[in-house]
Amino acid sequence: MKNAKTFICLGLGLAALGACAQDSSEDWAFKFTPSVYGGRQQTLATDMNMRGRSGQHTVWLGQYTRPGEFQQTRTGYEFNARLGGVQLTPSLQTASRGFWGGSLNATFGETVYGLLGLGRTNLKDYYNLNFDPNDALTLGLGGYLSDRHQVSLFKIKDDRLHTGQEVTHLVWRYSPAAHHRWTVDASRKQGRPSQGLAPVQGYALALAYDHKALFFKLAKDQKVNFSEVDQWRAAVGWRF
């Protein structure tokens, strides 16, 4: 409970910091996402995530709970900056159990663009809700096929822990009309859970639909986080 209160306060502090950094005319937009995670080999888990954005600043606060096994409170901050034709996104994240991490991602170009990213953590206990390696390098390409279609292909690869972990994503976003968007994310993973263990490989498919303020997400993930667990995920949320 003490850790949870600490990180709730930190999350509110980050939100205040972001607000102060912006002109008073900037409005905050929020997104609340409750999620459920399950599978035959694991206890049902939940995650509650609140995300706020104002201008170039984004903050978030979340609580992951797997009853009787693991729970973690997390908070973070992200900044978006454009320098010429480059979009830079640095972020910091911290969580209970002593975890902290950070990343720097960059997008180069407009209609056709390149993706480059680097992530680092302090290797403390953390349930990875990105489902990709955190201490990793990201490389990829993307582009807009039309005003309605966007496609990207990228790989996230461990470049620190010598596990050979890598996840390759093919993402398609389709907007058939205003206030409607479909997102399909197909991915393949391979690598060892940790150095010295036998490698695993699996596939994942995630589908999301956005309609105005509401959105829905479903996913099926083999060998989630390079474990022996096959997981399904469901989320529904809204923006306000």
Task: Tell which residue, 169, 160, 175, has the closest CA to residue 115.
Answer: 169
Q: DSSP class of residue 147?
A: S
pLDDT digits (tens, 9 = 90+) for 139-170: 999 999 999 999 999 999 999 999 999 999 99
The pLDDT of residue 33: 98
How many Cα atoms are found within 13 Å in the side-chain-facing hemisphere of 33?
Answer: 22
Q: How far apart are CA 219 and CA 204, in angstroms?
A: 7
The pLDDT of residue 24: 46
pLDDT band at 103 (very low <50, low <70, confident <90, very high): very high
Q: Is the pTM of this model over 0.85?
A: yes
Is pLDDT above 90 for 173? yes
Adjacent-strand bridge partners of 207: 184, 218
Q: Across residues 15-26, what is the average pLDDT? A: 49
pLDDT digits (tens, 9 = 90+) for 70-91: 999 999 999 999 998 899 999 9
Domains of the chain: 2-239 (2.40.160.40)
Q: How far apart are CA 188 and CA 227, in angstroms?
A: 14
What average pLDDT does the chain have?
Answer: 91
Please name the residues in contact with 190: beta carbons below 8 A apart, sequence gap of 6 or more. Answer: 164, 165, 166, 199, 200, 201
Q: Name which residue leads in pLDDT, 119 or 26.
A: 119
pLDDT band at 25 (very low <50, low <70, confident <90, very high): low
Residue 147 near residue 161, CB atoms below 8 Å: no
pLDDT digits (tens, 9 = 90+) for 188-231: 999 999 988 999 999 999 999 999 999 999 999 999 999 999 99
pLDDT digits (tens, 9 = 90+) for 34-75: 999 999 878 999 999 999 999 999 999 999 999 999 999 999
Tokens of 16: 């205040």
